[in-house]
Amino acid sequence: MPSPKAKTPARAGGSPVLGGANGRYEFMSLTKSLNRSSPPPPPLLLQRQGSDPTTARLRVSESPTRRRGSSSSTGSASGQAPPEEDGLRLNPSFLRVALSSLLAIDLWMSKRLGVCACEDSSWGSVRPLMKLIEISGHGIPWLAGGVYCLYKSDSAAGQEVMLNLLMGLLLDLLLVAVVKASVRRRRPAHNRMDMFATFSVDRYSFPSGHATRAAMCARFLLAHLVLAAPLRVLVLLWAALVGLSRVMLGRHNVTDVMFGFWMGYCQYNLVELLWLSPQTLQGLLGHLA
């Protein structure tokens, strides 16, 4: 009859357990089986387990995620709003949007109306006529004509009118030069700098000096000269053609001409306010002498 110790009892899982004295073999087999079934610990865990706890805490505190979380929590806790500059950039004012839209429309219209900017343009054959109208609104012909008429005038009333016209022309040159030097708006890109007798400030576009001069002179002539109805219409038509020629030749934008007309209209009011009579001029010359 076989001894009961010769038989090894079966495990619950079906694998035999080796027997031995005092249960030593059974304990060793159980330890080995447990070691085979459990996976090895990750090396990072082993390293962290062997590292210093203080170093581990410092690494956690210096991590980018912890820093981002702390900064966001600090900002939310303090309740600080985003900078005002960022809000202005994201939400531009209605006035800024309106001005940008008007500027874009102005540039588009000026480009479309510049049909005589060069000889190869759609209306290039009309360019010589537009340049002639341009010269008619230049300051030098008006100053030369005013001095000649003042010299040839034999009446006090005529001399007074021509004297104030010359004063208005000089005032127009000064004011336009000041505004151009202050604004410094460049002329259109399709413009050709082939104008008659240009000066340093003429490289700027705003406002149109021809338009200011045409508006002021037209109002001056209509107010102080006795003209028939056809001549009055011709004066108005000449002023309008001078302003139109500035855009068709590519010299100015539409807003330059429009502001020039308004400025010339206001300059006449200033001339009327500073009106000089021959007696006032003689008194000034006597004080200077």
Catalytic residue ranges: 210, 252
CA distance 257 to 3: 125
3-state secondary structure of 276: coil
Phi, psi of 42 (to 5 degrees): -65, 150
Q: CA gyration radius for the chain?
A: 47
CA distance 91 to 249: 39
Q: Are 109 and 254 in contact (CB under 8 A)?
A: yes
- The CA-based angle 6-12-14, given to 5 degrees, is 70
Token pair 């090396």 is at which residue? Answer: 43
Phi, psi of 81 (to 5 degrees): -85, 160
CA distance 88 to 93: 8
CA distance 236 to 239: 5
Q: How many residues does the chain have?
A: 289
